[in-house]
Structures are given as structure tokens and as C-alpha cells.
Structure 1
Amino acid sequence: MLEVPGAASGPAADALAERLRASINADDARVSRPHKCADLRIMGLDDSVTAEEVVAAVARTGGCSADEVKAGTIRPDFRGTCTVTVSCPVAAAKTIVDGRRLLVGWVSAQVKLLDPRPLRCFRCHVGHHVGVRCTSEVDRSALCFRCGQPGHKAVACNAAPHCIACAAAGKPAEHRAGSKSCAPPAKTKG
């Protein structure tokens, strides 16, 4: 791994990555240029908007490449419009949030900067570590993050929220695993 340090090192890091891509065979190694990203919630979209249009609007307004922008699934919200979560470079996110609105097609959508997500283990559903470093004897990786039941994922779940990690710790569990209400112990012993 090569690192180009400094706050204004972006152009130098891009140039280095391009030179490495040109000199190294893609079958031998993968050259990537990671960016520190921030998450945005884009609200008030109509149902005709596609994820590609959202990505293009974020890239255009934020001044970044469309390859650096990742959009989630566009979902209907309680107001009858649609919402999507987008991950983009921090500089682009600041530019977009400063404008407060994002023009996507014919829609002027509202933009909100989301708080960074806390570190959460997908194996035991407890925070402060990741699955590779999980020392818990309990494996909850096959359970839904919303209801704690096996056989489906949180995206398709309509059941009442129930945090299995908080329930196991004897704490209130009427919330989704990883939500702001979630407070299981940092280390579990079983």
C-alpha cells in the first residue's frame, strides 16, 4: 500500500494511481484510489428518478467523478416521495450540503448530511469491532438486523424491530440492531 500524505495530496495521489495502472497488469494487481467518504440522504425525489440520475447529479454538483459516488436503493418515504442514501467524497458532500438542494432531473431534492455510522460487527451484532476481529462465541450473522429472526435480511423485513444483542444483554430491545437506541455491551462472552 502506498500513501500520499497531506490535505492537498489528491492530484498527486490520482497521478500516482494512473501511472501505476498504466505500468501494472490488471490481472496481477488491483490499483485503487480510496477517498474518505460521507453519506447523504437525498429526499423528495419523484418515482421516475433512477439511481444513475442521482449519481450523475451528485457527481456534477459535488465536482467529483461518478465512479466515486455510490447510491443505495431508491425507496418510497412517508410523504409519497422517494429517498435514497448516497456515499460520496467528503469534499463533494460538503459542496452539496452547502447548497441545501440537489437538482435531479426536474426535481429539486432536499439533502441531509448523515452522521457517520458507528463500527458494528455483522457477526455478533455488537459494536466497536468488525467480524474479522470478533471474539464472541455467538454467531448472529444469519439473523435479520431488524427483527433478529433467521431466514431473511433487514431490507425485506416488515416485522417489529427487535435487537437480539440488547435482548441477550437484558436491555430494552424494541429497536433495530445498530440504531441510536442500541447499547449492548462492547464485548460479549456468549
Structure 2
Amino acid sequence: MRQALSDLTVHIARPVKSGEIKVTGLDEAVTPEQIAPAIAGTGGCAMSDVRAGELRRSRSGMFSAWVRCPLTAVRKLHAAKHIVVSNWISAKVEVLEVRPMRCYRCLEPGHVGRQCPSENNRSDCCFTCGQKGHKAEDQVPGLCGPWQACQS
């Protein structure tokens, strides 16, 4: 296929089952572009298969990032438990549980927005606490959760 479509700008890929990990213990000097090669090197996968998210500050002041990569790499990273991001930064790797499907329209589990049977549209509410006026991504970790009201 690659030879037949070489003159076109077509990306040919095979679906790969992937998983998510959380990389913790990073400082503010690290970027997602530095995390991806460290994951690919330790996990034994291609860098194009690694998707590193934005860095988020935790309560301790250190940063963490969610990373999606192939399951074979997730297994290797779980066994290694740490990765070396740069010459002086070693980060901890945690395997994340599979997140359940959840609708962004009504905030109920088990379906997605296209098949939403509810007449309630809560897309302008916080995904974590369900309150209007802010989004979960705008919250500082720990302020918004089911155990306490939001501080918006």
C-alpha cells in the first residue's frame, strides 16, 4: 500500500491498542516534547505512537503529565516504574485504570454525546462537580471534587 500510494500524502498505520500512564515528579523545566522520547526509549515503541499531554501542577508543587502509548510500552514502563526524562530528572510512572465512557453533554456514564438520551444539557458545567460557572480543566487540583464544593 505504501508503494501504491507513495505519490499521495496518505498516512498508513495499523491500529494499536493503547493505554494511559501518569508520569509524576517532573519539574517546571520539562516539556511534553521531552517526555515522549523518554517514554518511547524505555517502552520500546515509536515516538509517533506516544501522546504526551500538558504538564499539570500537583499539590506538592511538582508537575505530572498523562501519556497515551501502546500497551506493550505500558507493560515495560510498569515494570521499570521510573523513566529518565533528562540527565538530571527521573520521573515515576503509574499505570492508569481504563476510564469509563462518560457523556460530555449530560455528564452521565455509559454513553457519549451523540447517543445522549437525556434532555438535560450540562455541557456548560464542571465535569468534576457538576456546578455551572467554571470548567474542570480551569480548577487547581484538589479544589473541585465530589467530597467538597467547588471554590469558583
Asked if Structure 1 and Structure 2 have the same fold, meaning a TM-score greater than 0.5 normalized by the shorter chain, the answer is: yes
Spell out structure 1 runs of 4+ moving beyond 6 A.
Answer: none
Change (3 A) 1:144 1:75: same
Please say if 1:57 is aligned against 2:38: yes
Which amino acid in the other structure matches residue 22 of structure 1?
S
CA distance in 1, matches of 2:13, 2:4: 10
| CA displacement at 1:21 relative to structure 2 | 4.8
Please say if 1:48 is aligned against 2:32: no
Please say if 1:34 is aligned against 2:18: no
Secondary structure (helix, strand or coil) at the match of 2:6 reads helix
Secondary structure (helix, strand or coil) at the match of 2:24 reads strand
Secondary structure (helix, strand or coil) at the match of 1:22 reads coil
Which amino acid in the other structure matches residue 132 of structure 1?
R
Kept after mapping to 1: 8 A contact 2:136/2:144: no
Secondary structure (helix, strand or coil) at the match of 2:64 reads strand
Kept after mapping to 2: 8 A contact 1:62/1:92: yes
The structure that is helix-richer by fraction is: 1
Alpha-carbon displacement from aligned partner over 1:105-142 (angstroms, at most 9, x marks no partner): 02111111010001111111011111111111111112
Secondary structure (helix, strand or coil) at the match of 1:34 reads coil
Please say if 1:113 is aligned against 2:112: no
CA distance in 2, matches of 1:175, 1:95: 37
Larger Rg: 1
Please say if 1:22 is aligned against 2:22: no
Unmatched runs of 5 consecutive residues or more in structure 1: 1-15, 163-172, 177-190
Change (3 A) 1:101 1:21: farther
Kept after mapping to 2: 8 A contact 1:35/1:89: yes
Q: Give the TM-score taking structure 1 as reference length.
A: 0.68
User: Which residue does 2:69 correspond to in 1?
Assistant: 88
> Alignment partner for residue 161 of structure 1, among 139, 144, 147?
144
Q: How does 1:73-152 map to 2 (within 5 A)?
A: 73-105=54-86, 106-152=88-134
Which amino acid in the other structure matches residue 114 of structure 1?
L
Q: How many residues align?
A: 147
Q: Give the TM-score taking structure 2 as reference length.
A: 0.83
